[in-house]
Amino acid sequence: MNAHSSVSNETFDCRVAFSEKLIALAEADPRIVAVCNDSVGSSNLNAFRDRFPDRLINVGIAEQNMVGVAAGLANGGFIPFVCAAGPFLSGRATEQVKADVAYSNYGIVLCAMSPGMAYGELGPTHHSIEDLSWMRAIDNLDVLVPADPEQTKAAMDWAVASGRPIYMRVGRHKVPSVTPADRDVAFTFGKIDVTGDGNDVALVATGTLVSRALEAQAILAADGIAARVLNVSTIKPLDAETIIKAAKETKGLVIAEEGVLEGGLGAAVATTLAENHPARAKFLGVTSFAPTGSTDFLLEHFGLTAKGIADAARKLVG
Amino acid sequence: MTISVWPDNKPLDVAAIRDLPEGERAEQLKLVAKQVRRLIVQMIDIARAGHIGGDLSVTDALVTAAFGVLNISPETADDPGRDRLILSKGHCAAALYSVLALRGFFPIADLETYMKPLSKLNGHPNRLKVKGVEANTGPLGHGLPIAVGSAVASKLSGKNWQTFVFTGDGELQEGSNWEAAMTAAHRKLDNLVVIVDRNRLQQGARTEDTASLDPLGDKWASFGWEVADIDGNDTAALLKAFTQNRDGKPLVVIANTLKGKGVSFIEDRVEWHHKVPSKEQVELALKELA
Ligand SMILES: Cc1ncc(C[n+]2csc(CCOP(=O)(O)OP(=O)(O)O)c2C)c(N)n1
Ligand SMILES: [Mg+2]
């Protein structure tokens, strides 16, 4: 049943798939525009700019302005992909996201580049670890965290087709592909993708943590612990059914995310469990402003590794 | 790898510079600026990361303020009446760290830990980790509002310190700066100086090709500020501007600089915002800065 007894060594920066897909979408649909904040390079928009110079609106270093401008473009019939580093998009422009995008119900795709701790040693000001909490708190805003390039592209297809207000993380820290070969679509809105049917423990992960959860699943299997991995690529609305099923069929859940524990994926899962099927759970995330260090160093520092997930799982079921 | 400083092994008495006559001061500041540039290049070489272009453009203004004008020293670091130096363009932390190390806030050898795991010298400055850092900057557009608060506090407390804040030019595209500019002029904060590192480049392009700032001096003047438009890589011009009459207003010094100043192949090139020089380029750069 386990399609991922081993996770591939080849890893990807999801911004590459993002920019290829954005160009393809823009070729097919003249309503698609990109809006950015002096972030052409960091959002991997160079090729888009060369192909569609008029359809790239770079407002300069001005995130509040950027999101407001996107709302005006949406009002004028366009579909803006707003591309900016996650911390500044979600943090600086929160009120614009709330009032101008979500409350106004515009079809805008807010693309949070280099999220989590992808900016490593640049430090906490540049870490986007609160974004899932902040964005989840806003009504009428879907929150997506694709875990690999295939999911990133499929989520973008869905975003355009749906016309919804959307916040989406686009990963920079390299990840392996986690999409099982037998899936028709890599991403289904509002559905958790489950790998394995282990009944001892459920490993609930998102983004960069999904491949690490799959590795943990293999580590645990060697110890005779049967785990299932839940890849949550739609944080909001949460697929409650799959969470409740996992709670009923296992002895507990480990929830892992590259973000704070207050209000993100873990909090969403906790609410669902508490209301429907209280279960044992352990929450892994970023528990303080990070010290100086690279992304890998920091993921290790906070126990956001295959080993960290496996250890937490052993404690839960042991 | 170890950081080298004062290659002739004759360190300057940096603490004494502030008391020299203006002409001599400007000359000594030039020497300090060269050392700071050498430190920056070496730090970025060791870390294999950093923002070299903006570090090198802001060096002369930072050095002139810190060593030539302001009351900033390890001895007075906790003094409530100390002058405040705020680096709003926090991505240029390497320049600030070099200045603080040369001024004796921490050992120069610590610069080797820039951005290394668990180092106090994070990619952006943290006041809780490094004495002499006044604001935890990194997101652009935060320094000026904080500086305005500091300038108000200076007056309210009767301690009358000066606040100098260093911004990028691209950074001025953030609206928060202009909100703060209004507050400062309204409150006649003549104890506040903004230094705009006008290198005409931002992260991905020239400022005037992105969201134009010109006529920049007129913008500040119309907001009620005193304006000095000068060569921002000239310590003598900087000294003069920093001590000029402010006519009861906050002062903006538009420091016209070259991004990457001092290293010919880095100067005025957009790609050097945060490119890291190769080993050969580091050698060349240090030779040019000898
Ligand atoms: C709010 C915010 N948006 C975006 C960035 C990313 N960023 C870092 S440096 C930079 C360019 C800054 O240009 P400028 O202010 O001209 O600085 P300098 O040329 O002196 O390096 C950008 C966009 C940031 N740090 N903060
Ligand atoms: Mg600039």
Q: What share of chain B is helix, strand, coil (3-state, %, to 5)?
A: 45, 10, 45
For residue A1, pLDDT over 80 is answered with no
CB atoms within 10 A of CB B23: 9
| CA gap B95, B55 in Å, rounded | 5
A11-176 and A193-317, same CATH topology = yes
User: Considering chain A, what percentage of its residues have pLDDT values greater than 90?
Assistant: 97
- Per the CATH hierarchy, to which homologous superfamily does domain A11-176 belong? Thiamin diphosphate (ThDP)-binding fold, Pyr/PP domains (3.40.50.970)
Q: How far apart are CA A245 and CA A199, in angstroms?
A: 11
E strand map for chain A: 11-12, 32-36, 56-58, 79-85, 109-113, 142-144, 166-170, 175-176, 193-195, 201-205, 227-231, 234-236, 253-256, 281-284
Residue A178 CA to residue A10 CA, distance in Å, equals 11
Which of A35, A37, A38, A50 to mutate to test binding with chain B, by most B CBs within 10 Å of its CB? Answer: A38
Tell me which residues have their CB within 5 A of the ion that is ligand 2. Answer: B 168-170, 199, 201
- The residue extents of the domains of chain A are 11-176, 193-317
Number of A–B residue contacts, CB under 8 Å:
87
From the CB of A61, is ligand 1 less than 6 Å away? yes
Instruction: Look at residue A2 in the predicted model and tell me its pLDDT.
Output: 40
pLDDT at B181: 98
Decide if B235 touches A, using CB distance below 8 A.
no
User: Has residue B9 got a pLDDT over 80?
Assistant: no
Grade residue B8 by pLDDT with cuts at 50, 70 and 90: low
Q: What pLDDT, in 10s, does the model give residues B104-162?
A: 999 999 999 999 999 999 999 999 999 999 999 999 999 999 999 999 999 999 999 99
Higher pLDDT, B45 or B7: B45
Q: What ligand 1 atom has the least distance to the C-alpha of B91?
A: 9
Is residue B177 less than 8 Å (CB to CB) from chain A? no
Report whether pLDDT(A219) > 50.
yes
The response to whether residue B197 sits with its C-beta less than 6 Å from ligand 1 reads: yes
What CATH number was assigned to the domain covering residues B21-288?
3.40.50.970
Question: How close B264 gets to chain A, by Cα (Å)?
Answer: 24
Contacts of B130 in chain A (CB under 8 A): none
Task: Dig out the tokens for A99 from the structure.
Answer: 């009032």
Helix axes of B52-63 and B93-102: crossing angle, nearest 10 degrees? 40
Choose from A122, A130, A288 for mutation: most chain B CBs within 10 A. A122
Which one, of A314, A209, A198, lies nearest residue A256 by Cα?
A: A209
Q: Is the model's pLDDT at A4 over the cut of 90?
A: no
User: Which pLDDT does position A318 carry in this prediction?
Assistant: 82
Partnered with residue A167 across adjacent β-strands are: A110, A143
Contact: A123, B171; criterion CB under 8 Å: no
Q: Does B120 touch chain A (CB under 8 A)?
A: yes
- ipTM associated with this complex: 0.95
Cα A22 to Cα B242: distance, rounded to the nearest angstrom:
49
Which residue minimizes the CA distance to atom 10 of ligand 1? B203
Token pair 């009504």 in the structure block, residue:
A139
Contact A121 B170 (CB under 8 A): no
B88, B202, B258, best to mutate for ligand 1 pocket (most atoms within 8 Å of CB): B202
From the CA of A88, the nearest ligand is 1
| Cβ-based contacts of B207 with chain A (< 8 Å) | 60
Cβ neighbours of residue A267 under 8 Å, at least 6 residues apart? A133, A136, A261
Contacts B119 to A, Cβ<8 Å: 292
Question: From the CA of B53, which ligand is nearest?
Answer: 1
Higher-confidence residue of B142 and B3: namely B142
Contacts of A88 in chain B (CB under 8 A): 139
For the cut 90, the answer to whether the pLDDT of residue A3 exceeds it is no
* pLDDT 10s digits, A41-87: 999 999 999 999 999 999 999 999 999 999 999 999 999 999 999 99
Q: For residue B34, what are its two tokens?
A: 């060269």
pLDDT digits (tens, 9 = 90+) for B215-263: 999 999 999 999 999 999 999 999 999 999 999 999 999 999 999 999 9
Q: Closest to B124 (Cβ–Cβ): which among A59, A65, A125? A: A125
As a whole number, the mean pLDDT across chain B is 96
Residue A270 scores a pLDDT above 90: yes
- pLDDT tens figures, A131-182: 999 999 999 999 999 999 999 999 999 999 999 999 999 999 999 999 999 9
Label residue B206 by pLDDT band (50, 70, 90): very high
Cβ within 8 Å of residue B158, ≥6 positions away: none
Which pTM was predicted? 0.96
* Predicted local distance difference test score (pLDDT) of residue B10: 62
- What residue type is assigned to position B272 of the chain? W
CATH of domain A193-317: 3.40.50.920
